[in-house]
Structure 1
Amino acid sequence: MSDIIAGICVPDSAIARAATQLVRDTEDDLIYNHSRRVFLWGALTGERHGLKYDPELLYLGAMFHDMGLTEKYSSPDLRFEVDGANAARDFLKSYGVPERAVDDVWTAIALHTTPGIPEHMRPTIALVTAGVEMDVLGVDYHEFTQEQRDHVCVHHPREKNFKENIIEHFANGIVRKPLTTFGNVKADVLALKDKNFVRQNFCSIIFGSAWPN
């Protein structure tokens, strides 16, 4: 039987259960609870705005969105978001999910740290980012009722020092490939956590290119 949290029915299909188990086996409690909250905030956002979204696809996007931070799914040179998106794509294809749906989940995960774009795209893509932004940044915090916030966090607690610990998780997942943070928000994480990090500069790259003028 599906859980109902803050009025949202958590998907309980075979693929959703398998995704949940994979995340439980791969990620720690902080990322697991964060991922479940991302789904719930995203679904609540969709309900509030009257969007027609596929709860199962939203759930899969939320559950896989940080998989690229884990050692098992981290590549040497791709953005962690792309690693997570690739893991989700392989998983969904193994269940025969249609290509368009796979593409939406892939894009939702790949763009979830690129603000200003996902919100203009299809609901799965927009709502994964909305859920992430609520849980990590507190975006639209006051658009959720106190009852909704409390009910979600009773079922999936924000552990003590969550803000510090989620930044630490981000840093641990990307510190070995700092060039992948160019042009995205994760450069701020390494600037805080890695004293040897040198932020790339877009204008310096232009001036240093092989073009003569």
Structure 2
Amino acid sequence: MHLADLTPPATGAAAAAHELAAAYLSPTLLNHSVRSWLWAEAFAIAEDRTGIDHELLYVSALLHDMGLAPAYDNVALSYEEAGGHVAVALTAGAGWAAPRRQRALDVIIRHNWPSVDPAMDVEGYLLEIATGLDISGSRADVLPSDFVAEVLAAHPRLALADEFTTCVADQATRKPSTSAHRLISNGLAAKLSHHPHERP
């Protein structure tokens, strides 16, 4: 498994998702979003998953944290739901049919679930375990170490521990009924500060 083997879908929606994420997310959160896509695709290979909508997975991964960007921070909705609606708007402009636009919303919302059944939603499952690896360090020993090193060199974590904790803690304070509060209560700050990818 090599980083060069994983290339973004050559579609307008994929290009627009990256352009939007790069415009509105910090470099730290943009790298996190790209890594989340790479981990998701790598887990799909490692687990021999088939039937994946790779364009849907890429768009969802690139936009899954858009609700943390000030321009898209919804006053009431959880940050993942707000980000999901950004994906709905972008994919509507790309000509996706309504059911597939709904899938983008579902996948992004489900990435913050404690777990997702792959039989129900394989893209949601892959994004959930990918972000779980990047944020909490779960399944850190599953992917090949050489591949992980390649990804981290190309898309470094930068200030992820501090920045992501600050963003989610702010959401938890302002929107205590959302998943952000659960993440903070479950020790997000400690998981990030002791993340295996944060070690030299």
TM-score interval (norm. to shorter): 0.7 to 0.9
Query: Per-residue CA shift, 1:153-206, capped at 9, x if unaligned?
Result: 1111111x53233212222344322233488434447999xxxxxxxxxxxxxx
After superposition, residues 39-188 of structure 1 pair within 5 angstroms as 39-52=37-50, 53-159=52-158, 161-181=159-179, 184-188=182-186
TM-score norm. by structure 1 comes to 0.79
Q: CA deviation at 1:28?
A: 0.3
Measure the CA separation in 2 of the matches of 1:186 and 1:94.
35
Identity %, equivalent residues: 25
Is the Cα–Cα contact under 8 Å of residues 85 and 109 in structure 1 kept in the other structure? Answer: yes
| Counterpart code for 1:172 | D
Measure the CA separation in 2 of the matches of 1:17 and 1:179.
34
Is the Cα–Cα contact under 8 Å of residues 42 and 128 in structure 1 kept in the other structure? Answer: yes
Is the Cα–Cα contact under 8 Å of residues 80 and 173 in structure 1 kept in the other structure? Answer: yes
Tell me the equivalent position of 2:193. none
Is the Cα–Cα contact under 8 Å of residues 66 and 86 in structure 2 kept in the other structure? Answer: yes
Is the Cα–Cα contact under 8 Å of residues 21 and 30 in structure 2 kept in the other structure? Answer: yes
In structure 2, do the counterparts of structure 1 residues 123 and 10 end up closer, same or farther at CA, with 3 Å as the change threshold?
Answer: same
| Counterpart code for 2:166 | E
Query: Per-residue CA shift, 1:20-51, capped at 9, x if unaligned?
Result: 11111101001000000000000000111111
- Most deviating of 101-110 and 147-156: 101-110
| Counterpart code for 2:88 | R
Measure the CA separation in 1 of the matches of 2:141 and 2:179.
30
Larger Rg belongs to: 1
Q: CA deviation at 1:114?
A: 1.2
Measure the CA separation in 2 of the matches of 1:133 and 1:181.
14
Is the Cα–Cα contact under 8 Å of residues 93 and 102 in structure 1 kept in the other structure? Answer: yes
- Most deviating of 180-189 and 169-178: 180-189
Query: Per-residue CA shift, 1:53-78, capped at 9, x if unaligned?
Result: 12211110101110111111111111
TM-score norm. by structure 2 comes to 0.84
Measure the CA separation in 1 of the matches of 2:28 and 2:84.
20
Unpaired runs of at least 5, structure 1: 193-213
Tell me the equivalent position of 1:15. 13
- Most deviating of 75-84 and 176-185: 176-185
- Most deviating of 73-82 and 10-19: 10-19
Aligned-residue Cα RMSD (Å) equals: 2.3
Unpaired runs of at least 5, structure 2: 191-200
Aligned residue for 1:143, secondary structure, equals coil
